[in-house]
Amino acid sequence: MPSPVPMPRSVSRQHARVLSHAAVNAEYRHLVLGTDAAAAAARPGQFFQLLCPAPPGEAPFLRRPMSLYAADPKAGTVAFLYKVAGAGTRGLAMLREGEALDMLGPLGHGFRLDPSWRHVVAVGRGVGLATLGPLARMATAQGIGVTAVLSARSPELMLSDALFRRHGAEVLAVHDHDGTSDPAKVEAVLRGLVAAGRCDALFTCGSARLLRLLQRLAREFGLPGQVALEQQMACGLGMCFCCVRDFVVDGRTEHRRVCWDGPVFDLLEAVA
C-alpha cells in the first residue's frame, strides 16, 4: 500500500459559515461550509470534528466526527453528507444559511493512490458512500479509472452516485429491494472486474460485511486495498484513546487509534 501522507500535527479551529444546507433524500442532508485554506485543502478520507448546536431539550456534549464529502480549495469550501440519527445530528440539522459552525480539522490520514494503478474499485454502503465519494475526484486527477459499486436499501436512498459519475467513474448500483445487493451477487460483480483487469486495488467504507468480502478477494487475488473505518470518537486528536481498535499486522495484533493512525487503514490489517 502507498505510504501514508504525514498528517500535520496542527489543525485549524474555526467558525465556518453555512453556505447551503438541504436534504438530499428522506434520510440524508448535504451541508456546505465556507472555510479557511487549511480546511479546504482536506484530502479524501480525512474528517472534521463538528461542535453541533444543541437541539431543544438536549445537550450534545462532545464534537461529532464527520467524514469529508467534498473540498474545494479554489472556492474555499468543504461539504458533508450526514444522516440525522442522534442529538448531535439533530442539532446540526437546525443550521441555516449564514449561520456559523464551530469546526476542527482536517484530521486523520486519508486515502492514498499508487501512480502505477490504472483502475481501482470502490465498494460502499450507507454513509460510507459519502466517505468514498471524494476518492473519484482524486483518482481522476491522477489518471486512474474508478468503478464504484454502491449499495443502498432502495434507489431513492442512494448516495454519491452523481458525484462518482461527475468525475468519470462507472457506477454499478445495487439495492436491497431487488436483491442485487446480496453478498453473493456483489462478489460475482467484483470477480468480473478482477477478471477483466479493471481492479488494481479495492477501497471500502460503511459495512463490516463488505469489508470481509473485500478482504477475502484481496487475499485470493493478491490485491492491495484500503478501508475508511467508522468509529465513535471523543477528542479526534489521539489523546483520549476512545477509538482504539484491533489490527492484525504480520500476524500480530496491534492496537491503533482510528482518529490518529487512520481513519484510512490497510484493507487486510483491519479487523471487521
CATH of the domain at 166: 3.40.50.80
Residues of the domain holding 171: 119-228
Highest mean pLDDT: which of 13-22, 57-66, 127-136, 227-236? Answer: 13-22
Residues 59 and 141 in one domain: no
Q: Are strands 244-249 and 252-257 parallel, antiparallel or unpaired?
A: antiparallel
Tens of pLDDT, residues 82-109: 999 888 999 999 999 999 999 999 999 9
Q: How many domains does the chain have?
A: 2
Label each residue of 17-43 as H, E or C.
EEEEEEECCCCEEEEEEECCHHHHCCC
Tens of pLDDT, residues 102-158: 999 999 999 999 999 999 999 998 778 889 999 999 999 999 999 999 998 888 888
Strand extents, DSSP E, the chain: 12-23, 28-34, 47-51, 64-67, 70-72, 77-83, 100-107, 119-125, 145-152, 170-175, 201-205, 225-228, 244-249, 252-257, 264-266
98, three cell numbers: 449564514
Report if residue 100 sits inside a domain.
yes
Report if residue 57 sits inside a domain.
yes
pLDDT bucket at 41, cuts 50 / 70 / 90: very high
Report if residue 261 sits inside a domain.
no
Residues 61 and 102 in one domain: yes
The CA distance from 13 to 103, in Å, is 6
CATH of the domain at 30: 2.40.30.10
Residues 103 and 138 in one domain: no
Residues 62 and 123 in one domain: no
The CA distance from 52 to 71, in Å, is 20
What is the mean predicted confidence (pLDDT) over 191-214? 95
What is the mean predicted confidence (pLDDT) over 33-58? 93
**Entry field: residues in the chain:** 272
Residues 64 and 164 in one domain: no
Predicted local distance difference test score (pLDDT) of residue 100: 97
Residues 152 and 201 in one domain: yes
Q: How many CB atoms lie within 10 A of CB 187?
A: 14
pLDDT bucket at 7, cuts 50 / 70 / 90: very low
Report if residue 22 sits inside a domain.
yes
Report if residue 258 sits inside a domain.
no
CB 147 within 8 A of CB 198: yes
Instruction: Determine if the pTM surpasses 0.85.
Output: yes
Residue type at position 96: R
